[in-house]
Amino acid sequence: MSKRKIVVALGGNAILTNDSSAKAQQKALEHTAEYLVQFVENGDAIAVSHGNGPQVGNLLLQQEAAHSEKNPAMPLDTCVAMTQGSIGYWLQSAMAKALKAKGIDKEVASIVTQVVVSEEDPAFKSPSKPVGPFLSKEEAEKQMEETGAKFIEDAGRGWRKVVPSPKPIDIKEVKVIKTLIENDIIPITVGGGGVPVIKQNDDYIGVEAVIDKDFASETLAVSIEADLLVILTGVDNVMINYHTPDEKVLNEVTVDEMKKYVDEKQFAAGSMLPKVEAAIKFVEGNPKGKAIITSLENIEAAISESGGTIITR
């Protein structure tokens, strides 16, 4: 098989275990890196993206707890950049270690990536993504009155601030990413969906929003003209009729078949649905491209394009 250009999107389970300490997350990423290096051994050029939901949520809690006039909490776009930096640092260290163990001389670089969204995106009028700490109803009402932020009651656990989740339209650092790949360097990029920015004249302004990691990975894959988008999650295959007697594993599926399953509401919003939608969008935007949704542990099958859920035109 000739050298392919591949975007590998890591799910949260590739980074975070039940222990959210830095040491535990670094250990999890060392395990993840041992799988990712198999793409490099196969001769593929990879770009790696990752989520940051739990990490940015924990950081927001820490920011809120330490907030004072002299030490104000950082805004959400800055927190996304901070977690891009920390996870990128852990992952590039883990990848360097795994590459060295295999005798592969290759550099890895993390990029604090800004992802452009539209100011006109309807998500800005309908914030829906819960972030940050749980508050009482009284605390939430006070925050809403003082800041104009929107809060919702979240699953009986308290009230949480909700922010927009706009769709990505461009990646500001795409030339840098392409340059790294062309020079045989592995980029770690669009972490946590990227830092959300809007373009105003010739400037880029950070906004309080969270971009879905899978859609950002799809935008990255299209931007670098990848041959394959691999979305790693907690299961080997996508399923329909999940947790019913008619449960069915999906192996090779066309875009049209996947769209039918989406219309049937087969996939959970906020879980498998964005992965499926991102995969569909990538394959539609790249006639030669394929997308695979599978688990980290099933990565050998993804590399050989013989397992997982493979989505084609």
Catalytic choice (161, 213, 281, 290): 213
pLDDT band at 108 (very low <50, low <70, confident <90, very high): very high
Active site residue 275: yes
Active site residue 18: no
Catalytic choice (5, 13, 206, 298): 13
Active site residue 5: no
Active site residue 194: no
Summary mean pLDDT of the chain: 92
pLDDT of residue 58: 82
**All domains of the chain, ordered by start, with CATH?**
5-110+170-311 (3.40.1160.10)
pLDDT band at 161 (very low <50, low <70, confident <90, very high): confident
pLDDT band at 203 (very low <50, low <70, confident <90, very high): very high
pLDDT above 60 for 1:
no
pLDDT above 60 for 215:
yes
pLDDT of residue 2: 58
pLDDT of residue 144: 86
pLDDT band at 87 (very low <50, low <70, confident <90, very high): very high
Catalytic choice (193, 237, 275, 308): 275
Q: How far is CA 230 from the centre of its chain?
A: 12
Active site residue 97: no
